[in-house]
Amino acid sequence: MKIISIINQKGGVGKTTTAVNLAAGLSQLNKKVLVVDLDPQGNATTGLGLSNLEDTENSIYGVLNSTKEFVNVIKKTNFTNLDLVTSTVDLSGIEIETADDQRRAFILKEKLAYFISNNDKNYDYILIDCPPSLSLLTVMALVASHSLLVPLQTEFFALEGITQLIKTIERIKSNLNQSLEIRGILLTMYDKRNKLSSEVESEARKYFQDKVYKTVIPRNVRLSEAPSHGVPVLMYDKTCPGSKSYYNFTDEFLDQENNMENVA
């Protein structure tokens, strides 16, 4: 069971879109996936057709404040092989509520470890959709994860922002989670008509080399429309450029997995 966080401290980079559509792509290939919405905005929750306005305790908030266990808050989505732990805006208060807990960075890791050890729900992947900030919730996700997937928008300031994220990752790796790795960087919002997109792509590939996936996700209206219908774009419009890119990315993601296992 791989625990992977989709992370970037900058908002609007396609993070939730990537979490939801990678989960959908994997589930269509008969992989069992659990999405954990760790963002108080709850966009992954609504993007998979569930409400982020109710049932506060039966959400990730209930797990982190120790009123619920993971197994009690997992909800079925309308998609085969794809389950969800929802989020609500109350999650934004968890930093204040856990202020006196010296081990609060480990809460999510410990809750997940207990769930994995004591339940027969055999997920292939747990995907954590992180908030767009370097907050306590993000630190919890970094501590709990085996690896990270970083969506990087092909726009000005993108590479500048990611250097700050990498410094945070290195600090977490040194002090709290030595096995943490960046699994890959996914270029998003790519506009082939825009010279800047190709320049950012070139810089990213030069700096991060084979960590950058070959697949790039284009700017696409259907990608923007799908969340308002409560479905991943892979179900909303299978033939649009956004869907085709996420199908390709899912294949590349699994090929990467096979290569990693062969090396091991």
- The separation between CA 30 and the C-alpha centre of its own chain, rounded to angstroms, equals 19
Provide the pLDDT confidence category of residue 51 given band limits of 50, 70 and 90: confident
Please compute the mean of the pLDDT values over residues 28-37 and round it to a whole number.
97
Helix (H, G, I), strand (E, B) or coil at 2: strand
Structure-block tokens of residue 116:
């994995």
Three-state SS annotation for the chain: CEEEEECCCCCCCCHHHHHHHHHHHHHHCCCCEEEEECCCCCHHHHHCCCCCCCCCCCCHHHHHCCCCCHHHHEEECCCCCEEEECCCHHHHHHHHHCCCCCCHHHHHHHHHHHHHHHCCCCCCEEEEECCCCCCHHHHHHHHHCCEEEEEEECCCCHHHHHHHHHHHHHHHHHHCCCCCEEEEEEEEEECCCCHHHHHHHHHHHHHHHHHEEEEEEECCHHHHHHHHHCCCHHHHCCCCHHHHHHHHHHHHHHHHHHHHHHHC
Please compute the mean of the pLDDT values over residues 187-216 and round it to a whole number.
91
Structure-block tokens of residue 43:
């966009």
Q: What is the pLDDT of residue 122?
A: 85
Residue 220 CB partners (closer than 8 Å, separation 6+): 233, 240, 241, 242, 245
Judged against a pLDDT cut of 70, whether residue 243 lies above it is answered with yes
Name the pTM for this structure: 0.94
Q: Which residue, 77, 60, 78, is CA-closest to 69?
A: 60
Provide the pLDDT confidence category of residue 155 given band limits of 50, 70 and 90: confident
Looking at every residue in the chain, the average pLDDT score rounds to 92
Distance CA 42, CA 24 (A): 17
Please compute the mean of the pLDDT values over residues 215-223 and round it to a whole number.
93
Distance CA 6, CA 15 (A): 6
Q: What is the pLDDT of residue 159?
A: 79
Q: What is the pLDDT of residue 43?
A: 94
Q: What percent of the chain has pLDDT over 70?
A: 98
CATH number of 2-256: 3.40.50.300
72, 23 in Cβ contact below 8 A?
no
55, 97 in Cβ contact below 8 A?
no
User: Given the DSSP bridges, would you call strands 147-153 and 74-76 parallel, antiparallel or unpaired?
Assistant: unpaired
Judged against a pLDDT cut of 70, whether residue 39 lies above it is answered with yes
Please compute the mean of the pLDDT values over residues 168-193 and round it to a whole number.
92
Please compute the mean of the pLDDT values over residues 244-248 and round it to a whole number.
96
Judged against a pLDDT cut of 60, whether residue 264 lies above it is answered with no
Judged against a pLDDT cut of 90, whether residue 120 lies above it is answered with no
Q: What is the pLDDT of residue 10?
A: 83
Structure-block tokens of residue 121:
């729900």
Distance CA 118, CA 257 (A): 26
Residue boundaries of the structural domains of the chain: 2-256
Judged against a pLDDT cut of 90, whether residue 249 lies above it is answered with yes
Distance CA 154, CA 4 (A): 22
Provide the pLDDT confidence category of residue 263 given band limits of 50, 70 and 90: low
